[in-house]
Amino acid sequence: MTVDISEDELITAIGRVLSGTGPDVLVPVGDDAAVVRGGTGDLVLTTDALVEGTHFDRTMSTPRDIGYKAIAVSLSDIAAMAGSPRYALCALTLSGDVDAGWTMELFGGMREATDEFACALVGGNLARGSEVTVAITLTGEVARGAVVRRSGAEPGDVVVVTGTLGGAAAGRRLARRGAPWTEDELHAIHRHERPAPRVGEAPVLARNGATSMIDVSDGLTRDLVRICEASGVGVRLDPAKVPRHAAAAEGEALGGGEDYELLATMPSAAAAADAAGELADVFATLLTPIGTIAVDGLQTIDDTGATHPLEPSGWDHFA
Amino acid sequence: MTVDISEDELITAIGRVLSGTGPDVLVPVGDDAAVVRGGTGDLVLTTDALVEGTHFDRTMSTPRDIGYKAIAVSLSDIAAMAGSPRYALCALTLSGDVDAGWTMELFGGMREATDEFACALVGGNLARGSEVTVAITLTGEVARGAVVRRSGAEPGDVVVVTGTLGGAAAGRRLARRGAPWTEDELHAIHRHERPAPRVGEAPVLARNGATSMIDVSDGLTRDLVRICEASGVGVRLDPAKVPRHAAAAEGEALGGGEDYELLATMPSAAAAADAAGELADVFATLLTPIGTIAVDGLQTIDDTGATHPLEPSGWDHFA
């Protein structure tokens, strides 16, 4: 952008222009997905675009992986509202140098993801452009009133995160560096190519009382600050507790983004422990307490108990 | 595309890969929109992308008009299924040379269209790319089982079209040519910049028994052939009856595209006349019989009653 405003500031400005304020609009722009009143449950709606050069590189990724990832990132947004994915649409822009085979492989990858997570790719649109863009819209369902928003965190809540962080960023770095790779490094590359949205895990967190939730798409600290801002609270983050992928550097775990893990706040340490037990048993997924919601102040806390200002790092697509 | 298959062939191939075949998927890819079973009614879903260079030119169109048109073309798809628009999402790709003001104007134009047609723009996504792409997803509702598909035309049905055709194509040509313009020419340019989706008219056609319906987005003859192919029927088109915009050439009326009028088949001349009367009274919208559905053969018919092969003209985005 030629302007000096951030992506978040632009989204806030756009939110004022949107018409998402009727009585049937339960969550307008500004959360992981919009929520509107459906016939029986509530309908969760999200849209995302993967743009060549920005989000993928055709020389580095297969069309099958790009298609899978396009669906996975939208699945992650529906999960972060505690919704169940239902129907996907794809608006695809193709450049002149991709052929029908490439396009079919792309749709094949989307199909793999929709099959794996029990939703259906029901429609789409093709257009021409100078670069490949894969814009996915996903609808999901949630029982009426059961969405988990970003805005419900309360002082005293325990901050938790699923899985490990930094793997996707490490994978991107390692894929660019080239072979040879260790087993951990190959796993990180797989995390980057085929992120695993936490579709099954999210309802478990919701059932155990999660007060707020977001998916870690732009980096842990950046997404944590979004929860704090939406909830009007502060946080004490313990960086030493952040579960780091075996191939990731500390900076990648705190600000790397694209891990699509769930970051949530739980009402008590007991609720966090219950959810952790259930996730371990059913999904073999880690759930790690990494901090505490505070009345105000965005801070990290070190081994000695001393606090330092939390510096949000991560992606701003327009920075 | 570097391949020698058409857009329609590619869409057919993609349709085979999509997962839209479950019991709740009522209309999969291949119609104006997908239809899935909703809580009470049925949910209609469509997605479209406007790509800079292909669908608009920032030096010729204002961001407000581009935003309006992006919503309008999706509204037209929902209308062509006899659905009522409800919720819109926008996945926007921005190039480095647009500023926040341009972006806000774009959303302002979308808001104008959603306000005018009583739907809500509830969410979106921003990404960076080398060109501006506006991908819109729209959901709509229709009473259970009340959608009008492309595939229901029967021999003997009367082919009707709303409004006049060729205006958008003429407007595009005239805008490029530059001023001075006559009043008719200015109206054509307005048709090109701000198409009027037939959201109110569509349910009237459906109520009067329309057996198939499509919106004229890629050119009358091309879209008419789509109805015939989907329905497994032929047609006798009377080109002299096609209602032409005052500024349009005959070729523009038959193959110009982007008019977003409704092309439908009615079960009888009486049903067509009833619908025409209602549309004239309520919306001051023309409805013109332009041909008859036949058992087979795609033909035009001239004043003397002689038939000629119908040559589909119009847009193939990949030709």
Higher-scoring residue by pLDDT: B41, A247: A247
- The partner residue sitting opposite A49, judged by closest CB among B18, B24, B135, is B135
Query: Residues with Cβ < 8 Å from B9, sequence gap 6 or more?
Result: none
Nearest-angstrom CA–CA distance, B258 and B168: 6
The answer to whether B37 faces chain A, any CB pair under 8 Å, is no
Confidence at residue B4, expressed as pLDDT on a 0 to 100 scale: 56
B chain contacts of residue A315, beta-carbon cutoff 8 Å:
none
The answer to whether B246 faces chain A, any CB pair under 8 Å, is no
Confidence at residue A314, expressed as pLDDT on a 0 to 100 scale: 57
For A163-196, give the DSSP string. Answer: S-BSHHHHHHHHHHH-S---HHHHHHHHHHHS--
The answer to whether A143 faces chain B, any CB pair under 8 Å, is no
Answer whether residue A19 shows pLDDT above 90: no
A chain contacts of residue B318, beta-carbon cutoff 8 Å:
94, 126, 128
Nearest-angstrom CA–CA distance, A177 and A185: 11
Distance from CA of A197 to the nearest CA of B (A): 18
B chain contacts of residue A54, beta-carbon cutoff 8 Å:
127-129
Please compute the mean of the pLDDT values over residues A246-268 and round it to a whole number: 96
Best of A46, A73, A89 to disrupt the B interface (most B CBs within 10 Å) is A89
pLDDT tens track, chain B, 319 positions: 454 577 778 777 877 777 666 778 888 777 888 888 877 789 999 999 999 998 999 998 999 999 999 999 999 999 999 999 999 999 999 999 999 999 999 999 999 999 999 999 988 889 999 999 999 999 999 998 899 999 999 999 999 999 999 999 999 999 999 999 999 999 999 999 999 999 999 999 999 999 999 999 999 999 999 999 999 999 999 999 999 999 999 999 999 999 999 999 999 999 999 999 999 999 999 999 999 999 999 999 988 989 999 987 655 544 4
Residues A44, A83 contacting (CB under 8 angstroms): yes
- Sheet with strand B234-237: strands edge to edge: B212-215, B262-266, B158-162, B287-294, B234-237, B298-301, B307-309
Nearest-angstrom CA–CA distance, B9 and B27: 19
Nearest CA in chain B to A49: B91
Identify the DSSP state of B194. Answer: S
Please compute the mean of the pLDDT values over residues A280-292 and round it to a whole number: 98
Tokens of B131: 């060109």
Please compute the mean of the pLDDT values over residues A61-81 and round it to a whole number: 96
Higher-scoring residue by pLDDT: A40, A195: A195
Q: How many CB pairs under 8 A join A and B?
A: 270
Nearest-angstrom CA–CA distance, B289 and B268: 11
Confidence at residue A8, expressed as pLDDT on a 0 to 100 scale: 75
Angle between helices A7-17 and B100-116 in degrees, nearest 10: 30
Residues A277, A214 contacting (CB under 8 angstroms): no
Confidence at residue B32, expressed as pLDDT on a 0 to 100 scale: 82
Q: Which of A6-20, A30-44, A98-112 has the largest mean confidence? A: A98-112
Whether cis (ω within 30° of 0) applies to the bond prior to A28 is: no
Torsion sign (Cα): B83, B88, B92, B98: positive
Angle between helices A183-193 and A63-79 in degrees, nearest 10: 70
**pLDDT level of residue A20 (50, 70, 90 thresholds):** low
Please compute the mean of the pLDDT values over residues A289-298 and round it to a whole number: 97
Sorted by where each starts, the structural domains of chain A and their CATH numbers stand as 7-142 (3.30.1330.10), 158-309 (3.90.650.10)
Closest by CA position to A10, among listed A50, A2, A260: A2
Tokens of A17: 């222009």
Closest by CA position to B50, among listed B68, B28, B32: B68
Confidence at residue A4, expressed as pLDDT on a 0 to 100 scale: 56
Confidence at residue B52, expressed as pLDDT on a 0 to 100 scale: 94
Q: What is the mean pLDDT of chain A?
A: 92
Nearest-angstrom CA–CA distance, B298 and B293: 9
Nearest-angstrom CA–CA distance, B72 and B53: 19
Total residues found in chain B within this entry: 319
Higher-scoring residue by pLDDT: A281, B13: A281
ipTM score for this prediction: 0.89
